[in-house]
């Protein structure tokens, strides 16, 4: 029975299950520069998204909250935020919010550097300067398991969460708490003192997973079916199948079927994945990044 995982300690005390170097655009206009920066820094990754411009109110705040959560995520060794310079969600604001959460994040603005290519080059220099981290053993109290839609996993799926908690792990679940407790806003950081929390889900699976990751989950558990597939750029997603009729169709998209392991066996699988064992979506390169919306783009 695994009660420890091997992770990476960050400067703010949190522990990551992965050690990514990340180029993060604050706005859709900076997507190309982020991808280029990752290409110029072997082993680095970039995410792309269509947001960051002409957003207001709660929609703006939510996008800012999610991008900051990704930038400071414990699975990220080093992040560089790349902005245009006139965007609605300013890269400097993400940098400032990251500092408030104990992480130093570099920032490059395309307009300040005279174009996307020089900004990408400078971002790549920062990514290349990152020091490689080393895995160390930690208790499961340092591990947050994000839980997406597991409704079709039934009592056994719920038992996996109980077993994970019994070993000392923390759980953040998307959706409605049957006990009626208040849900955290989408992408809001799970307070360090809470061992269990509920977060507002996104409109779809990929939005929900991204919200859980932005809230600090270092690994995610969700069911696998035609509407619930794929991983996340910076976080392992354990997908469990439940419908034997879909086994052939989803054989390359899930980490196994519910009955293939015991409850304890699935928890051991989650802990092993948090310690670096690749999940199926990491092997196939299937990663989705979507941010939930609360309003229109103007």
Look up residue 260 and give its DSSP letter: G
Give the mean pLDDT of the chain. 95
* Model pLDDT, residue 18: 98
Say which CATH class 136-284 falls into: alpha beta
The answer to whether residues 47 and 73 touch, using CB atoms and an 8 Å cutoff, is no
* Model pLDDT, residue 20: 98
CATH of region 20-128: 3.40.50
* Model pLDDT, residue 197: 95
Which residues, listed in sequence order, are joined to residue 45 by a DSSP beta bridge? 22
Domain-wise residue ranges, the chain: 20-128, 136-284
Long-range contacts of 249-252 (CB under 8 A, 24+ apart): 250/224, 250/225, 252/280, 252/284
Q: Which residues of the chain have pLDDT under 70?
A: none
* Model pLDDT, residue 176: 83
Chain segment 122-132, per-residue pLDDT in tens:
999 999 999 98
Query: Rounded to 5 degrees, what are φ and ψ at 30?
Result: -100, 5
The answer to whether 20-128 and 136-284 have equal CATH topology is yes
Query: Rounded to 5 degrees, what are φ and ψ at 74?
Result: -65, -20
Which residues, listed in sequence order, are joined to residue 239 by a DSSP beta bridge? 222
Chain segment 136-148, per-residue pLDDT in tens:
999 999 999 999 9
Q: What is the pTM of this model?
A: 0.96
């Amino acid at each position: 029975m695994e009660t420890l995982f091997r992770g990476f300690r960050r400067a703010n005390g949190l522990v990551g299950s992965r050690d990514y170097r990340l180029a993060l655009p604050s706005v859709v206009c900076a997507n190309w520069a982020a991808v280029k920066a990752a290409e110029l820094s072997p082993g680095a990754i970039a995410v792309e998204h269509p947001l960051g411009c002409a957003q207001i109110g709660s929609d703006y705040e939510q996008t800012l909250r999610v991008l900051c959560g990704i930038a400071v995520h414990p699975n990220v060794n080093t992040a560089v935020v790349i902005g245009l310079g006139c965007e609605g969600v300013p890269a400097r604001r993400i940098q400032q919010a990251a500092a408030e959460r104990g992480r130093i994040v570099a920032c490059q603005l395309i307009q300040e550097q005279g174009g996307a290519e020089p900004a990408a080059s400078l971002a790549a220099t920062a990514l290349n300067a990152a020091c490689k981290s080393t895995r160390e053993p930690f208790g499961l109290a340092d591990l947050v398991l994000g839980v997406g839609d597991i409704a079709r996993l039934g009592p056994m799926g719920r038992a996996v969460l109980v077993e994970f908690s019994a070993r000392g792990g923390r759980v953040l679940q998307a959706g409605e708490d049957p006990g009626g407790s208040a849900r955290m806003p989408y992408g809001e950081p799970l307070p360090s003192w809470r061992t269990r929390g509920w977060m507002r889900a996104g409109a779809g699976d990929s939005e929900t997973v991204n919200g859980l990751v932005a809230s600090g989950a270092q690994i995610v558990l969700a069911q696998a079916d035609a509407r619930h597939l794929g991983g996340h750029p910076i976080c392992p997603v354990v997908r469990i199948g439940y419908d034997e009729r879909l086994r052939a169709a989803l054989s390359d998209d899930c980490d196994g079927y519910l009955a293939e392991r015991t409850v304890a066996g699935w928890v051991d699988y989650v802990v092993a994945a948090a310690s670096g064992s690749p999940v199926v979506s990491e092997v196939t390169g299937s990663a989705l990044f979507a941010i939930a919306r609360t309003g229109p783009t103007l």
